[in-house]
Chains A and B, each alone.
Chain A
């Protein structure tokens, strides 16, 4: 292995900057195409169906089990301090603030993000995108924008379903199975959870994650090497980058929203 020459460093930096620039341009284009996506509602509905409805099963089941585990573990810890009634608060706050948006985003990246990347990547490998351009059809508007906004619409709804089902799961384990008092379970929850600060910020979080995950998936598909190997690598990168971005962003958002 030879030493790096300054020109190599400069080239690598330029390539990276070029990537970032193209990503930023695609992002602004997709955002600007919001109205265009709304106007072609048929495409948008199809994508919400594909990204949302098909993810509903995995989201619901995961939410239920995360709720179960939170109920069990929360009870185990809280009853040591004689405050098992706070179980509802613990389950609701951890789900609404953190677990709901984050776990949903991670699952969404695995379930829907990968299929988006693979679909776009194969379209590119099969030169369908190039063919569209030949016919003066803008592939970003026709193919990418509906998928982008479909994902952005689906994500907060999925996260809300996850949190709601998780709370029901925690209730099932805590109240029905273990026998925490049902009244104090709900009333502690209602006293401690603020509609705007907790539920509202959770929705904002999941919206941000929806932008992040869907955009990463589309970008990886759009920019991939148009070969079978390139598509497979892009799909892997989608999961890795989207997951890391979600976890990093979650820290930043939490610090911003709940610091006071």
Chain B
């Protein structure tokens, strides 16, 4: 009697522990977003991916439609090659364009997919042709300063 009682408590303890691990995996981690749905893989080349990481979401109209599978460097074109897994149930026209965007001001970066107008759809192995790089803050500031200097130069030139 005493013994079997103890077994129940140990079983309960193990169940609580397993439930805690499950809670951490499901609620705190992103196991649910590890989708087990069939995907097809397309690739895109970007001049600059900024801080994009593998497993970053791919969104279209704000809805997650896939994930970044891998990021590599193409030594032929000196561009970043991003492999994207899109879920099978979402199809996109062949001339869709991909952008690297940032959620919020300092949030994580993701790939935004904008559907084009082609009648044919993207299939596995296709490459997305039109891409837009991530906005790099340093370049932006550099450009701003350059424009400022150019403005100042032109007004001074006008005065003369």
Partners in one complex: yes
> A164 and B20: CB pair below 8 A?
yes
Assembled-state Cα–Cα distance A164/B21 (Å)? 8
B residues in contact with A164, CB < 8 Å: 19-20, 23-24, 28
B residues in contact with A181, CB < 8 Å: none
> B27 and A199: CB pair below 8 A?
no
Closest chain-B Cβ to A151's Cβ sits at a distance in Å of 13
Nearest B-chain residue to A89, judged by Cβ: B28
CB of B146 closer than 8 Å to a CB of A: no
> A53 and B13: CB pair below 8 A?
yes
Given A163-B20, A164-B20, A164-B24, the answer on whether A190 and B14 have CB atoms closer than 8 Å is no
> B29 and A160: CB pair below 8 A?
no
A-B contact count (CB 8 A): 87
How many residues on chain B are close to A (CB under 8 Å)?
Answer: 28
> B25 and A195: CB pair below 8 A?
yes
Closest chain-B Cβ to A242's Cβ sits at a distance in Å of 21
Interface readout for A96-122 with B: 1 if CB under 8 Å, 0 if not?
100000000000000000000000000
Given A163-B24, A203-B21, the answer on whether A49 and B34 have CB atoms closer than 8 Å is no
B residues in contact with A133, CB < 8 Å: none
Spell out A's residues near B (CB within 8 Å): 42, 45-46, 48-49, 52-53, 56, 83, 92, 96, 154, 156-158, 160-161, 163-165, 167, 186, 189-191, 193-195, 198-199, 202-203
- 30 residue pairs of the A-B complex, CB under 8 angstroms, read A42-B3, A46-B6, A48-B14, A49-B9, A49-B10, A52-B10, A52-B14, A53-B9, A53-B13, A56-B13, A83-B106, A156-B17, A157-B14, A160-B17, A161-B16, A161-B20, A163-B20, A164-B23, A164-B24, A167-B24, A189-B28, A190-B29, A190-B32, A193-B28, A195-B25, A195-B29, A195-B30, A199-B21, A199-B29, A202-B24
Spell out B's residues near A (CB within 8 Å): 3, 6-7, 9-10, 12-14, 16-21, 23-25, 27-34, 55, 106, 108
